[in-house]
Structure 1
Amino acid sequence: MFRSLFRSRWNKDSTIHFYLLQISSPKSISHISKSTIQEPSLTVDYLVNSCGLSPESALKAAQQINIKTTSKPDSVLKLFRNYGFTNTHIAKLITKFPQLLLADPNKNLKPKIEFFRNNGVSDPILAKFLSANPKILRRSLENQIIPSFNIVKSFLHTDENIAFALERTTWILHSIQKSIGPNVAILRSHGVPESMIFKIIITRPRLLSLETDHFSRFVTKIVQMGFDPLSLMFVYGLRTLLGMKKSTWEAKLKVYKSFGWSEDEILSMFRKQPVCMAPAEEKISKRLDFFMNKLNLTPAYISKYPTTLVLSLEKRTMPRCSVFDVLVSKGLMKKGSMGKALIVTEDVFLKNYVVRYQEDLPQLLKLEVLHSSLFISEPSGSLVMVDSEINRRILLKVIPNSREENWFAGFQINFRSAFTQIWKNTQGVNSWMLYRSVLYMLYLKPPEVAGHRMLDVLH
């Protein structure tokens, strides 16, 4: 019995103890023979030098395995590298499941890897999938992996779709028999179409990995709220509810009600855009205060554009309102159309609300650009670069260090003329790329030259 306990204690702790001693004080163990410390030392050394683990990770992994010879571990690593696993993949793989090094590569590992490859999973996706979930390789191929794979295929239909799902959600095979299958059956029983179920598995599979009774209660609740199972909002509503506690939901309802909303108005907006209940109570309150107390908008109007409640107040809503107020004051826009101006993309907003009127109202571009914290307005009408840390780091990649002080100290540019010239002659170019590109070109060339140079680059 004593020998058994000693052997168990040695296997668990000796590698850590001896390796730490070797690192910290080799002289203190000079009386211990090499044969005594050879095995634990070999395990840690192999994990560090052959598998790429850090010393700390190697010490932890060494508690789970004892490498007596490198023959089998070498064969395992060679197998993974033959399938395109990088050093990073291998380090991640062995850190999570060090026992793989002692597996039979040809009998236990290769048949499982070949199964995935033969069913359309490419080597890069396979490496990502297995390094994230290496314990899938200890499962039985015939009794677990193949049945789980076939269930996924019954939902996704093609090998290409399965490969895509594995790339996005590497753990999908773990939950398929236990929860995903039963939860899909629940959705079907409520009339959710196959096309919608397909989208959930591909894009939001975690929704289906929950405990079945819990999932069923929330599906029933979302149906009772009036969501149409045929609508994508059904999925968004379910995801939103599943993502918060009951107390959090009630706290958010209380915020809306404090601004005069009825429960029917809240649920009506929630059905249109469930994400309106996603922000924290403080953010919801701040946005409602701006819309209702400063802009005098009603719940009915806000409900028409519920996405506005999830947009950044400082970075998007307020700057666009500044532009829109100028257009309304000049009789170019009606106040009732403001909601649409807030929800369109950046490029559409610039095109329809800024560039269109820039000849008569040049200040619009300044108002729009200012929200990026990139510029301040000079009395001369020029724009001056200010220190915005994010964009500073981006721009410093292209601006030589020797010019940094002058650039951020107040280098003045005629931004508007160059930006407008480029904007009118290009389509489908991201506006932020234009901002940064124009700044760079203007730093090197006069405005009119910069415009032509940028057109050459973008076409």
Structure 2
Amino acid sequence: MRASFIGPRSCWHFPFVQCFVPSTSRGSGMEIQQLISIIFISHISNPSVQQPSPTVDYLVNSCGLSQESALRAAQQIDIKTTNKSDSVLELLRNYGFTNTHIVKLITNRPSLLMADPIKTLKPKMEFFRNNGISDPILAKFLSADTSVFGSSLEKDIIPSFNYLKSFLRTNDNIAIALGRRWILRRLSQQNISLLQNHGVPESTISKIIMLNPRTLCFKPDKFREVVMKIIEMGFDSSSLMFAHGLIKLLAMNKGTWEAKLAVYRSFGWSDAEILSMFRKQPNCMGSSEKKISTALDFFMKKLNWTRAYISKYPTTLFLSLEKRTMPRCSVVEVLLSKGLMRKENMGTALLVAEDEFLKNYVVKYQEDLPQLLTIYQSKMGVL
């Protein structure tokens, strides 16, 4: 038989090949056979046209993964029977995992579907539940840090949990830390020892874990560098501001830090003034360069606040201009014009809680200045 694929019968064997052959190729059966071979190889190497598999179907229909995610996950596992995988999904749902949690979990760790739900998974989840971690927090935490499922309960999870508890004291505090999507096993004891060696009290270390636990997960060399920098800046290691300064400085690279310094300098601030305010309120370097510039422009050019006055009330710099500062200033301006308030008290007016502001700066003058509430509400967008 001659090796030729010319003719409509060739399409019965290769349905993805269009049933046409260029007229210039009709003279050579070998050339056509090579052409079809090339098309066939291209077809099977393209995942977008791969034949569906039971594993992909299961990942899509039972786990909720997208077709693309399922194809990637199917490269790591092969589900021949669904009994074990069904049991894994049932166990997860019994511990409060939502469909969103399951999609995230299986996308990041497809092998979980092949684990023994009773011997491997349930003991770890029971440990957390028995130690006061609620199901919603547990689901959020474990779907964010799937490596916990691959860790030894006795050798890794329990020692890490107990070490964490030595600082946070209560299971409720641990639940808060885990709820911030902290990575349990990446807590660096070397970093904590460094803080302790520089006089940072356990209460401050606990606060770091509660506020921003990832701070303690930096590589020791980087962490040491920033700790030394914070101490050099004059932060008192026994104060809570030390923790806030460390968190803020670790979150920035050198270029970002310099860019923010440049913004302050452009408004006439000296490095000493910037550093003094940073020690008092590290959040003044937490906003973007644009937000810092906008805030300084408003306070220094529109309100005529001095650098010294801003340094006295540094928290005002990262309050919302539209939702808080400007509406309150509209009330303050009226009170200043009537001689009912002194300008040096503006900082306090911006910082007090909402109910206290309304009580002391609006309701207090309601009889003589009934328009204050209307002015305030219109600036707040209520009216």
Name the TM-score, length of structure 1 as normaliser: 0.68
- Tell me the CA shift for residue 207 of structure 1: 1.0
% same residue = 66
Match for 2:302: what amino acid?
K
1:98 aligned onto 2:110: yes
Q: Quick check: 2:241–2:280 contact (8 Å CA) kept in 1?
A: yes
1:367 aligned onto 2:349: no
Q: Does 1:54 align with 2:62?
A: no
Worse-matched range after superposition: 102-111 or 82-91: 82-91
Report deviation, 1:333: 0.9
1:126 paired with 2:138, answer: yes
Question: Is contact 1:15–1:44 with CA below 8 Å preserved after alignment?
Answer: no
Residue 38 of structure 2 corresponds to none
Q: Which residue of 1 aligns with 2:227?
A: 219
- Whether 2:332 is the aligned partner of 1:332: answer no
Q: Which among 162, 169, 178 is matched to residue 181 of structure 2?
A: 169
Match of 2:152 among 140, 145, 149: 140
Separation in structure 1 between the aligned mates of residue 108 and residue 62 of structure 2, nearest angstrom: 16
On the 8 A contact 1:16/1:63 being kept in 2, the answer is no
Partner amino acid, structure 2, of 1:91? V
How much has 1:272 moved relative to structure 2?
Answer: 1.3
Aligned to 1:43, what secondary structure does the other structure show? helix
Q: For residue 324 of structure 2, what is the aligned residue in structure 1?
A: 316
Offset at 1:150? 2.7
Match of 1:150 in 2: 162
CA separation in 1, counterparts of 2:142 and 2:45? 27
**Deviation (angstroms), 1:274:** 1.2
Per-residue CA deviation, residues 153-210 of structure 1 (Å, 9 max, x unaligned), is: 2222333332332222342x2302xx2x111111111211111111211221011111
CA distance 1:46–1:314, change in 2 (3 Å): closer
Structure 1 residues 79 and 339, CA gap change in structure 2 (3 angstroms): closer
1:186 to 165, 179, 194: 194
1:114 match:
126
Q: Is the 8 A contact 2:278 2:285 kept in 1?
A: yes
Determine which of 50, 75, 89 is the counterpart of 1:63.
75
Deviations 1:45-89 (A, max 9, x none): 211222222333222211211111222222322333343434333
Query: Does the CA contact (< 8 Å) of 2:144 and 2:181 recur in 1?
Result: no
By relative contact order (CA 8 Å, sep 6+), the higher-ranking structure is 2
| Residue in structure 2 matched with residue 282 of structure 1 by the alignment | 290
Deviation at 1:308, TM superposition (A): 1.6
**Equivalent residue in structure 2 for 1:87, among 99, 119, 124:** 99
Shift of 1:338: 1.3
Q: In the alignment, residue 148 of structure 1 is paired with which amino acid?
A: S
Match for 1:183: what amino acid?
A: N
- Opposite residue 199 of structure 2, the aligned amino acid is G
After TM superposition, the structure 1 stretch with the greater mean CA deviation from structure 2, 266-275 or 241-250, is 241-250
Partner of 1:42: 54
Structure 1, unmatched stretches of 5+, are 1-12, 23-39, 376-459
Relative distance call for 1:158 and 1:295 in structure 2 (3 A) is closer
Counterpart in the other structure of 1:299: 307
- Alpha-carbon distance between aligned partners in 2 of 1:136 and 1:281, rounded to the nearest angstrom: 38
Question: For the Cα contact (< 8 Å) 2:97–2:139, is it kept in 1?
Answer: yes
CA distance in 1, matches of 2:271, 2:89: 60
Alpha-carbon contact 2:316-2:347 (below 8 Å) kept = yes
Assess if the C-alpha contact under 8 Å between 1:84 and 1:124 holds in 2.
yes
Aligned length: 341
Alpha-carbon RMSD: 2.5
Q: TM-score scaled to structure 2, two decimals?
A: 0.81
Partners of 2:208 and 2:84 in 1: how far apart? 41
Partner SS, residue 92 of structure 1: helix
CA change 1:372–1:68 in 2 (3 A) is same
Q: Is the 8 Å Cα contact of residues 227 and 246 (structure 2) preserved in structure 1?
A: yes
Q: Give the Cα separation in 1 of the matches to 2:168 and 2:268.
A: 46
Alignment CA distance shift 1:198-1:358 (3 Å): same
User: Structure 2: any 5+ residue segments left out of the alignment?
Assistant: 1-42
